[in-house]
């Protein structure tokens, strides 16, 4: 979240789209209700299903899954054509005034630079025109025909209310009524927020979808404002923290894992320290060398020296152009190219796309290590055929599965201390209450024992390149089970000579004199103690910032981009909702997202970007600098905007024999997956109360479709996709209706996800059905808007 | 764990009980509060965070037996923490049944091993499991480690072993997992945020 849960109470308009907080984040949803109650805020809900968020909304619009960009693009067009955008904000705080190079174009579904052979874009025309010193040319009147503002306006003129309606299946009137409320925040003195979740991230065009949301919020002047922002609700207790601490291509703190062509630390630093694109850009990523060297110093301790580039060579280097995200992992595993997999608290057979492919892929490993609280479908993948023959009749018999599996009992949240980061970016410390049951072990001890044993083996026997392993610092007071407090101190960072904790990332150096495990968390554990433990209640601004409760990254800042809540002279857009104020020599209020003592006119408000302002036009993404509506990979209709280019041309697809895609003739219905209030993912089927509350998988289908098929509620139905099937009782509902799209009636089918072949209650894994088609930027699979057929059993 | 949590919470309950009245002309609250006091009387209270979604509700874990000799403390109750500005003592149906997640006869308590081709788990001692796993990892690493690429550049990478997970675990454990990953040179490292 750019803002946070408590901040939602400050809003005037809530757009919930691609999420269902009333059911899936019910406790967070109370801030929406507070805004409604105390500020008379309006709630708009846009969703394929009339869910319980919709039930308490002021306006609800039903749309077809996968058409969100059309809807949001329509909102951009509405704001522009009805003059409902915050013009001063747009001019001051976005790249609307930046002029794009000649040669940039969009026609018939493609931006300039599409390479048909390589199936990817050459992005050389998606660039700003430059003046001397490499700065971008701008036109603050926003009139230059090639300035971002004019290009954006032109791009979205096609997204008329009628076009939005015919793509998404709502009516033009429903769209306009919602647009009127949402775009009412496009001026000083009004704030609007967007809450989203996996209904947005699980598409083959999800990153551009969220980019559209950010563009809309920028056009309306809602970024940096209390009661504003783009807010991902997030579905796991520490999904934010795990991401902050790395991924296949990320080191902690969103530093990049080196590529093979950055052969030295100097080259790495050069490639990752952007040059400012405007004279007033603070360009904070220019500090990359300080963060990187401090990280290397934390990783390699005394083994990180000037002489060896602080251990830079020890880090693995990714081949240029290579990707190691989820889809590739399982595709390569299925092709027999992986030997081993280690899983800590993750269940790909249940939670990944295309379960049958996952099961067959795991069967090609030599070994699998799983650390868990309960036996999971992943650890027991070899039991799938025996336990659910009807779905897995074709998978390999267990006798022929040669994978050696270790299932390790791990302690649960209550049995160890440490930090979870919630979706507000708050690092909240928790304490250990009890020991783990039986011989279950803390995860830190499992990891450490494996590490120490491997180090011992390499010391004794040698082997392939032991250096990176032997150089890694593990000098904890108790190396077998490091205290998480000690680890938290290392993450926050210290001065190497004095041993004192650093006050924050401003103190980090690129000369090896500081160490820091994640610069974004620097300041979370200072000489004053563990800031994440704090439980202070004060809220002097009355804006729900709660600066003394826990600790928020970065720098305990509660509202990201808060400098943009004021105009060029530092005057707040809204005197009643100013997170920061300029007091002549410094900013007060929230921790400013700006240099604390720099006057308002000194720098652009978006200090992390080379532009110094926010990007409406963003050449960073795979499929274009502006978002465009593309259909899901499996779609029942052609793309009404450009029939020759249906789905995202850059989407990630795989071609194994277990990756077929279906067509609308065989699979005419659009399926979506969702969660229920009573269950958490695939865990609570092991808990008796929640299993009693929702014991059974079901298939939610519209009344009209049920009538057509002669299905009544409770009848057993089978849902099939090109990849697999599920069976369960029908829940015939009025919550979804037939949608009129391109002259056809399109029906959608809803599938809750929480069951599997293990647990107190059992049922089919919905991911038997889902495709391994992914967004090209994020690698997230398209769980929403794939095609199925449905029959009475 | 902060000991003042106890005082604050008790005070909160008492205040709530004193202020409550009902439309029936008599007050059910004191009786309810008394029953609740019994359930959590003499417990040790530990501040924690719900492990489910990312709203980040604070919970109080009540344990009994931790002050008695030779008795293993047991979780007897988990409830929302009124001190948290996020949840102010409230919890959803999942959070309110957290005790059944922690104290649960389906929890794994011993390392289990499945040999190639086997159709059942076998209990295995920890030391043997660690030895075997370290051997498997080392063998794979020794076979697959790539110190230099085809162009002779130092790449120190391993692409035949992957690590996934972390979203259910603390920052500190994720950080250690990262160190473990880089000590081996593992490229593929993914978590639930991808899905």
Residue of B nearest to A317 (CA): B155
How many helices and strands (H and E) does chain B possess?
Answer: 6, 8
Q: For the ranges A55-59, B9-13, B187-191, which has the lowest average pLDDT?
A: B9-13
**Average pLDDT of chain B to the nearest whole number:** 86
Task: Name every residue whose Cβ is closer than 8 Å to that of residue A51 and which is 6 or more positions away in sequence.
Answer: A20, A22, A23, A45, A674, A735
Chain B 101-120, residues with CB within 8 Å of chain A CB atoms: 101-102, 104, 106-119
d(CA A26, CA A7): 16
Contact A716, A793 (CB under 8 A): yes
Strand partners, A588: A581
| Confidence at residue A556, expressed as pLDDT on a 0 to 100 scale | 98
pLDDT at B15 over 60: no
Instruction: Give the mean model confidence (pLDDT) for residues A475-482.
Output: 98
Instruction: Give the mean model confidence (pLDDT) for residues A520-546.
Output: 97
Chain A 4-23, residues with CB within 8 Å of chain B CB atoms: 5-6
| Confidence at residue A617, expressed as pLDDT on a 0 to 100 scale | 98
8-state DSSP, A158: T
| Confidence at residue B32, expressed as pLDDT on a 0 to 100 scale | 61
| Tokens found for residue B34 | 């008394």
**Domains within chain B, CATH numbers bracketed:** 4-102 (2.20.25.90), 112-194 (no CATH)
Instruction: Give the mean model confidence (pLDDT) for residues A374-381.
Output: 98
pLDDT digits (tens, 9 = 90+) for A214-263: 999 999 999 999 999 999 999 999 999 999 999 999 999 999 999 999 99
Strand partners, A194: A15, A230
Concatenate the DSSP letters of all residues of A748-761 into one string.
Answer: EEEEE----SSSSS
Please give the share of chain A, as a percent, with pLDDT higher than 70: 100
- HSE-CB for A57 with a 13 A CA cutoff: 26
Element (H, E) at A22: helix A21-24
Put simply, whether A515 touches B (Cβ < 8 Å) is no
pLDDT digits (tens, 9 = 90+) for A409-466: 999 999 999 999 999 999 999 999 999 999 999 999 999 999 999 999 999 999 999 9
Torsion of CA A671, A677, A682, A683, to 10 degrees: 180
Please give the share of chain B, as a percent, with pLDDT higher than 90: 73
Task: Name every residue whose Cβ is closer than 8 Å to that of residue B168 and which is 6 or more positions away in sequence.
Answer: A236, A237, A238, A344, A345, A346, A413, B51, B192
d(CA A265, CA A212): 36
Contact A92, A567 (CB under 8 A): yes
| Confidence at residue A128, expressed as pLDDT on a 0 to 100 scale | 98
d(CA A42, CA A225): 17
Mutual angle of helices B4-19 and B29-40, in 10-degree steps: 160
Q: What angle do CA A358, A361, A367 make, to 5 degrees?
A: 115
**Average pLDDT of chain A to the nearest whole number:** 98
Chain A 342-361, residues with CB within 8 Å of chain B CB atoms: 342-346, 348, 351-353
| Confidence at residue B18, expressed as pLDDT on a 0 to 100 scale | 42
pLDDT digits (tens, 9 = 90+) for B120-176: 999 999 999 999 999 999 999 999 999 999 999 999 999 999 999 989 999 999 999
pLDDT at A273 over 50: yes
Residue B35: pLDDT band (50, 70, 90) is: low
The C-alpha of B82 sits at a distance from chain A's nearest C-alpha, in angstroms, of 11
d(CA A126, CA A142): 18
Chain A 550-609, residues with CB within 8 Å of chain B CB atoms: none
Residue A769 CB burial class (10 angstroms; 0-12, 13-18, ≥19): buried
Residue of B nearest to A367 (CA): B136
| Candidates A351, A426, A487; nearest CB to B175 | A487
| Confidence at residue B7, expressed as pLDDT on a 0 to 100 scale | 39
| Confidence at residue B16, expressed as pLDDT on a 0 to 100 scale | 41
Put simply, whether B175 touches A (Cβ < 8 Å) is yes
Contact A4, A193 (CB under 8 A): no
**Domains within chain A, CATH numbers bracketed:** 6-235 (3.40.228.10), 669-792 (2.40.40.20)
Q: Which residues of A touch B106 (CB under 8 A)?
A: 374-375, 686, 759-760
8-state DSSP, A276: P
d(CA A179, CA A630): 21
Put simply, whether A172 touches B (Cβ < 8 Å) is no
| Confidence at residue B29, expressed as pLDDT on a 0 to 100 scale | 62
Q: For the ranges A96-105, A137-146, A614-623, B60-69, which has the lowest average pLDDT?
A: B60-69
Residue A731: pLDDT band (50, 70, 90) is: very high
pLDDT at B4 over 90: no
d(CA B129, CA A441): 13
Say if the Cβ atoms of A319 and B149 lie within 8 Å: yes
More confident residue, B21 or A363: A363
The SS3 assignment for A123 reads helix
Instruction: Give the mean model confidence (pLDDT) for residues A665-691.
Output: 98
Put simply, whether A457 touches B (Cβ < 8 Å) is yes
Task: Name every residue whose Cβ is closer than 8 Å to that of residue A28 and which is 6 or more positions away in sequence.
Answer: A5, A8, A21, A233, A423, B55, B86
| Confidence at residue B31, expressed as pLDDT on a 0 to 100 scale | 59
pLDDT at A67 over 50: yes
d(CA A782, CA A648): 12
CA nearest neighbour of A208 among A546, A630, A745: A630
pLDDT digits (tens, 9 = 90+) for A28-37: 999 999 999 9
Residue A742: pLDDT band (50, 70, 90) is: confident
The C-alpha of A68 sits at a distance from chain B's nearest C-alpha, in angstroms, of 19
| Confidence at residue B39, expressed as pLDDT on a 0 to 100 scale | 73
The SS3 assignment for A459 reads helix
Chain B 4-33, residues with CB within 8 Å of chain A CB atoms: none
pLDDT at A318 over 60: yes
Beta strand A748-752 pairing with A744-746:
unpaired
Say if the Cβ atoms of B165 and A346 lie within 8 Å: yes
Say if the Cβ atoms of B176 and A487 lie within 8 Å: yes
d(CA A141, CA A158): 24
Element (H, E) at B53: none
pLDDT at B9 over 60: no
Please give the share of chain B, as a percent, with pLDDT higher than 70: 78
Element (H, E) at A80: helix A68-81
pLDDT digits (tens, 9 = 90+) for A609-664: 999 999 999 999 999 999 999 999 999 999 999 999 999 999 999 999 999 999 99
Residue of B nearest to A440 (CA): B109
Residue A554: is the preceding peptide bond cis (ω within 30°)? Answer: yes
Instruction: Give the mean model confidence (pLDDT) for residues A97-126.
Output: 97
ipTM of the prediction? 0.98
Residue A300 CB burial class (10 angstroms; 0-12, 13-18, ≥19): buried
Length of chain A: 793
- E-strand stretches of A54-113: 59-62, 106-107, 110-111
| Confidence at residue A152, expressed as pLDDT on a 0 to 100 scale | 98
Length of chain B: 195
């Amino acid at each position: 979240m750019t803002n946070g849960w408590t901040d939602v109470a400050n809003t005037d308009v809530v757009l919930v789209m691609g999420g269902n907080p009333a059911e899936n984040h019910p406790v967070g949803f109370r801030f929406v209700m507070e805004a409604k109650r105390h500020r008379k805020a309006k709630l708009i809900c846009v969703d394929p299903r009339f869910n319980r968020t919709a039930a308490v909304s002021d306006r609800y619009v039903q749309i077809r899954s996968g058409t969100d960009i059309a809807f949001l693009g329509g909102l951009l067009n509405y704001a522009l054509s009805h003059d409902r955008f915050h013009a001063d904000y747009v001019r001051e705080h976005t790249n609307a005034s930046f002029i794009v190079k000649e040669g940039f174009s969009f026609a018939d579904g493609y931006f300039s630079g599409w390479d048909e052979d390589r199936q990817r874009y050459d992005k050389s025309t998606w660039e700003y025109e430059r003046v001397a010193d490499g700065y971008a040319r701008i036109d603050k009147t926003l009139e230059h025909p090639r300035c971002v503002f004019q290009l954006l306006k032109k791009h979205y003129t096609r997204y008329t209310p009628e076009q939005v309606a015919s793509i998404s299946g709502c009516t033009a009137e429903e769209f306009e009524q919602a647009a009127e409320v949402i775009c009412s925040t496009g001026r000083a003195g009004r704030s609007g927020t967007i809450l989203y979740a996996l209904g947005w991230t699980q598409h083959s065009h999800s990153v551009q979808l969220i980019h559209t949301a950010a563009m809309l919020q920028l056009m309306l002047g809602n970024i940096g404002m209390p009661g504003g922002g783009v807010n991902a609700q997030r579905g796991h207790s520490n999904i934010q923290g795990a991401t902050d601490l790395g991924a296949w291509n990320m080191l902690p703190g969103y530093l990049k894992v080196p590529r093979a062509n950055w052969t030295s630390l100097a080259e790495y630093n050069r490639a990752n320290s952007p040059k400012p694109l405007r004279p007033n850009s603070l360009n904070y990523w220019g500090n990359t060398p300080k963060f990187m060297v401090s990280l290397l110093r934390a990783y390699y301790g005394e083994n990180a020296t000037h002489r060896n580039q602080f251990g830079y060579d020890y880090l693995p280097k990714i081949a240029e152009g290579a990707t190691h995200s989820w889809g590739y992992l399982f595709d390569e595993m299925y092709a027999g190219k992986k030997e081993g997999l280690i899983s800590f608290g993750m269940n790909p057979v249940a939670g990944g796309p295309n379960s049958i492919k996952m099961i067959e892929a795991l069967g090609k490993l030599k070994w699998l290590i799983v650390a868990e609280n309960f036996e999971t479908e992943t650890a027991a993948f070899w039991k799938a055929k025996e336990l659910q023959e009807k779905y897995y009749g074709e998978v390999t018999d267990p006798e022929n599965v040669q994978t050696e599996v270790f299932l390790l009992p791990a302690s649960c949240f209550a049995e160890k201390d440490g930090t979870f980061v919630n979706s507000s970016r708050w690092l909240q410390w928790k304490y250990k209450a009890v020991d783990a049951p039986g011989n279950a072990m803390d995860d830190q001890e499992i990891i450490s024992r494996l590490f120490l044993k491997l180090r011992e083996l390499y010391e004794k026997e040698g082997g392939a390149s032991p250096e990176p392993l032997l150089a890694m610092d593990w000098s904890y007071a108790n190396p077998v089970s490091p205290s998480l407090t000690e680890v938290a101190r290392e993450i926050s960072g210290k001065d190497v000579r004095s041993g004192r904790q650093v006050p924050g990332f401003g103190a980090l150096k690129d000369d090896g004199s500081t160490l820091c495990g994640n610069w974004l968390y620097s300041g979370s554990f200072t000489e004053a103690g563990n800031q994440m433990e704090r439980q202070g209640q004060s809220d002097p601004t009355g804006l729900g910032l709660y600066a003394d409760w826990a600790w928020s990254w970065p720098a305990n800042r509660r509202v990201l981009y808060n400098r943009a809540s004021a105009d060029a002279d530092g005057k707040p857009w809204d005197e009643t909702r100013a997170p920061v104020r300029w007091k002549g020599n410094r900013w007060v209020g929230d921790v400013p997202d700006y240099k604390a003592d720099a006057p308002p006119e000194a720098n652009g408000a978006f200090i992390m970007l080379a532009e110094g302002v926010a990007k409406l036009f963003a050449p960073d993404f795979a499929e274009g600098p502006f978002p465009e509506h593309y259909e899901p990979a499996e779609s029942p209709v052609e793309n009404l905007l450009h029939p020759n280019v249906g789905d995202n041309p850059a989407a990630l697809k795989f071609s194994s024999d277990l990756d077929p895609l279906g067509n609308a003739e065989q699979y005419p219905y659009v399926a979506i997956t969702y969660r229920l209030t009573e269950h958490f993912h695939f865990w609570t089927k092991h808990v008796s109360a929640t299993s009693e509350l929702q014991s059974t998988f079901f298939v939610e289908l519209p009344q009209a479709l049920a009538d057509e098929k002669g299905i009544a509620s409770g009848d057993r139905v089978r849902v099939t996709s090109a990849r697999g099937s599920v069976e369960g009782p029908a829940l015939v509902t009025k919550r979804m209706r037939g949608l009129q799209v391109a002259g056809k009636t399109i029906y959608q089918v809803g599938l809750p996800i929480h069951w599997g072949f293990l647990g107190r209650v059992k049922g089919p894994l919905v991911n038997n059905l889902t495709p391994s088609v992914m967004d090209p930027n994020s690698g997230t699979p398209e769980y929403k808007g794939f095609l199925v057929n449905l029959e009475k059993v | 764990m902060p000991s003042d949590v106890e005082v604050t919470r008790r005070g909160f309950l008492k205040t709530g009980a004193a202020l409550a009245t009902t439309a029936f002309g008599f007050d059910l609250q004191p009786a309810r509060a008394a029953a609740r006091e019994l359930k959590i009387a003499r417990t040790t209270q530990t501040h924690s965070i719900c492990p489910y979604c990312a709203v980040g509700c604070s919970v109080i874990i009540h344990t009994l037996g931790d002050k008695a000799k030779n008795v293993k403390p047991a979780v007897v109750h988990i409830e929302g923490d009124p001190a948290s500005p996020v949840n102010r003592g409230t919890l959803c149906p999942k959070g309110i049944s957290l005790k059944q997640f922690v104290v649960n006869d389906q929890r794994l308590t011993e390392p289990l091993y499945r040999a190639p081709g086997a159709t059942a788990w076998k209990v295995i001692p920890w030391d043997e499991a660690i030895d075997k796993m370290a051997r498997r990892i080392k063998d794979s690493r020794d076979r697959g480690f790539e110190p230099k690429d085809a162009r002779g550049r130092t790449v120190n990478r391993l692409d035949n072993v992957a690590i996934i997970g972390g979203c259910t675990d603390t920052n500190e454990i994720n950080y250690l997992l990262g160190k473990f990953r880089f000590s081996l040179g593992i490229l593929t490292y993914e978590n639930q945020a991808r899905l």
